[in-house]
Amino acid sequence: MAKIAVLPGDGIGAEIVPPAVEALKAVGRKYGHNFEFTTGLIGGAAYDETGHPLPEETLNLCRESDAVLLGAVGGPRWEHLPVHLRPEVGALLPLRKQLGLYANLRPVRVFPQLAGASSLKTELVSGLDMLIVRELTGGLYFGEKKKEPIAGGYRVIDTLVYTTPEIDRVARLAFELAQKRSGKLTSVDKANVLESSRHWREHVQSLAPEYPRVELSHMYVDNCAMQLVREPKQFDVMVTENMFGDILTDLAAQLTGSIGMLPSASIGGEVALYEPIHGSAPDIAGKDLANPLATILSAAMMLRVTFNMEREAAEIEQAVTAVLEKGYRTGDIMQPGMKQVGTGRMGELVLEQILG
Ligand code: NAD
C-alpha cells in the first residue's frame, strides 16, 4: 500500500487537487496499485481551523506518508497576519525545510498542441524540453530577516546564506540529471556581484571533473532571464539558487503557454512533495477557471519519481496530451477554434482518457 498525503491548501487548491487524486486513483485501479489518500490542512485553511498554517498533525501526516501532493497556499485573507503565521512563510517554507526537500525539479516542456499558446513565436518554443533544478531550502528565503526602526522609517534586512554542502548536494543532483539527459548543464548565479554566487560558481566548477560527460557552463541570472526569452532551446538542465529559480521558473512557465501547465517535484528527504509551480490564484479561485493540468502532471511526476512507476506516469501524461489533442483548453491556454472547458470538466476529460 502506498500512502499519499493530500494537502489542497488555499484558493484554487481545492479545485485542482481533486482531479489529480482522481487521476492517481484511476491509474491505481488500472494497474492494480493500492493508493491510500489522507487529506490534511495547510496554509490559510489550516490557520482558520487550528490557529497555525502548518499544524503538527499535518507535518506528522507528511512524515508518515510515502509522498505528498500539495495544491497551493496563501491569499489576501491572510496577508495581514504576523509573518510567521502567513501561509507561505509559516507553512510552505518550514514544510520544505522539515522534510529536507533541498531540490525542486521543474520540467519545462512545451506540449506540441500548445506551442501556439505561448507568448513567444511558435518556432522559438516548439519542442522545448528543459529541466530547472531550483535549490529549495537555502538562500534569501531562509536567511535571517530583520526590520528595525530608524529615524525616517525602517532598516530592513534579508540575508542570503549558502554553505558548501548545500551547494554541493544540489549541484551533484543537477550533474546526475544532466548526465541522464543531453549532458548539458547551465549553472545560474550572480557571481559578478554576490559573494554567495561566487562561491556557488567556484564549487559547481570544482565538481565538473567528476562528471566528464557533462558540459558545464555558467550564466548570470539577468542574462539568463533574457536568454530564456531570446532562445530557450539553448538550455537543457539548469541549476540555480532558491530565489533565482523561483523567478526564472515563472518566466519559463510562460514559454509553455501558461503557469497552469508546470508541475514540480521537491526531493532530497525521505518523503517527496509534488505540487504545481503556481500559487493559489485568488483572482480565479472558486470560479471553475483554473487549469488543473499542472497538478495532474505533478501526480505523474510522483508516480515516476517516488514510486518508480514509469508506465503509470506516462499513462497520465499521454492522457493529458490526448485531451489537448482533442482541442480542449482551460481559459489560460485557450486559442481560437479550441473548446473551452472549466477546471472540473478538464479533470473529467483526463480521467475518461485514462479509463479508456
Ligand atoms: P499565482 O501563481 O497564484 O497567480 C499568478 C497568475 O497566474 C494569476 O493571474 C493566476 O490567476 C494565474 N494562474 C495561476 N495558476 C493558474 C492555473 N492553474 N490556471 C490558470 N491560471 C493560473 O501567483 P500570485 O498571484 O503571485 O500569488 C497568489 C498567492 O499564492 C499569494 O498568496 C502567493 O504568496 C501564493 N503563492 C503560493 C505558492 C505555493 O503555494 N507554492 C507559490 C506562489 C505563490
Predicted confidence (pLDDT) per residue in 52-95, tens digit = 999 999 999 999 999 999 999 999 999 999 999 999 999 999 99
- Is the same domain home to 34 and 98? yes
Which helix or strand (DSSP H or E) is residue 266 part of? strand 263-267
> Which of 332, 350, 263 shows the shortest CA–CA distance to 71?
263
Domain interval for residue 3: 1-109+258-356
Neighbours of 338 (CB within 10 A): 16
The x, y and z cell numbers of residue 12, run together, are: 484554487
Q: Given this model, what pLDDT does residue 29 score?
A: 95
For 280-309, what is the mean pLDDT? 98
Q: Given this model, what pLDDT does residue 328 score?
A: 98
- Is the same domain home to 136 and 249? yes
Q: How far apart are CA 19 and CA 110, in angstroms?
A: 21
The x, y and z cell numbers of residue 214, run together, are: 557533462
Q: Report if residue 114 sits inside a domain.
A: no
The ligand 1 atom at the shortest distance from the C-alpha of residue 275 is 41
Say which of 222, 287, 326, 339 is annotated catalytic: 222
Counted domains in the chain: 2
Q: Report if residue 159 sits inside a domain.
A: yes
Q: Given this model, what pLDDT does residue 229 score?
A: 96
Any catalytic annotation for residue 288? no
- Is the same domain home to 211 and 294? no
Q: Given this model, what pLDDT does residue 126 score?
A: 95
**Which of these three, 255, 281, 300, is where a domain ends?**
255
- Is the same domain home to 84 and 25? yes
- Mean per-residue pLDDT of the chain: 97
Residue 240's pLDDT band, with cuts at 50, 70 and 90, is very high
Residue 2's pLDDT band, with cuts at 50, 70 and 90, is very high
- Is the same domain home to 273 and 337? yes
Q: Report if residue 174 sits inside a domain.
A: yes
- Is the same domain home to 77 and 144? no
Q: Given this model, what pLDDT does residue 69 score?
A: 98
Ligand 1: centre distance to CA 253 (Å): 12
- Is the same domain home to 180 and 262? no
Contact present, 280 and 9 (Cβ < 8 Å): yes
What are 320-348's pLDDT values in tens digits? 999 999 999 999 999 999 999 999 999 99
What is the per-residue DSSP string for 293-333?
HHHHHHHHHHHHHTS--HHHHHHHHHHHHHHHHTTEE-GGG
Is the predicted pLDDT of residue 35 greater than 90, yes or no? yes
Any catalytic annotation for residue 190? yes
- Is the same domain home to 8 and 33? yes
Q: How far apart are CA 5 and CA 21, in angstroms?
A: 10
329 CB-contact burial (10 Å; exposed 0-12 / middle 13-18 / buried 19+): buried
Q: What percent of the chain has pLDDT over 90?
A: 97
**What's the sign of the alpha-carbon dihedral 215, 219, 225, 227?**
negative
The ligand 1 atom at the shortest distance from the C-alpha of residue 12 is 18
**Which of these three, 255, 281, 313, is where a domain ends?**
255
Neighbours of 240 (CB within 10 A): 28
Q: How far apart are CA 205 and CA 159, in angstroms?
A: 24
For 23-51, what is the mean pLDDT? 97
3-state secondary structure of 177: helix
Ligand 1: centre distance to CA 117 (Å): 19
- Is the same domain home to 270 and 251? no
- Is the same domain home to 199 and 280? no
For 180-188, what is the mean pLDDT? 97
Q: Given this model, what pLDDT does residue 187 score?
A: 98
Any catalytic annotation for residue 10? no
3-state secondary structure of 35: strand
Q: Report if residue 202 sits inside a domain.
A: yes
322 CB-contact burial (10 Å; exposed 0-12 / middle 13-18 / buried 19+): middle
Tell me the one-letter amino acid at 41: L
Is the predicted pLDDT of residue 150 greater than 90, yes or no? yes
- Is the same domain home to 8 and 91? yes
- Is the same domain home to 245 and 133? yes
What are 155-179's pLDDT values in tens digits? 999 999 999 999 999 999 999 999 9
Residue 1's pLDDT band, with cuts at 50, 70 and 90, is confident
Tell me the one-letter amino acid at 245: G
For 274-293, what is the mean pLDDT? 97
Neighbours of 83 (CB within 10 A): 10
Any catalytic annotation for residue 158? no
Q: Report if residue 123 sits inside a domain.
A: no
CATH of the domain at 274: 3.40.718.10
Say which of 141, 162, 274, 328 is annotated catalytic: 141
Q: Given this model, what pLDDT does residue 350 score?
A: 98
For 261-272, what is the mean pLDDT? 95
Q: Report if residue 267 sits inside a domain.
A: yes
Q: Report if residue 121 sits inside a domain.
A: no
* Helices (H) then strands (E): counts for the chain: 13, 14
**Which of these three, 201, 229, 255, is where a domain ends?**
255
What are 127-138's pLDDT values in tens digits? 999 999 999 999
Q: Report if residue 116 sits inside a domain.
A: no
Q: How far apart are CA 260 and CA 245, in angstroms?
A: 17
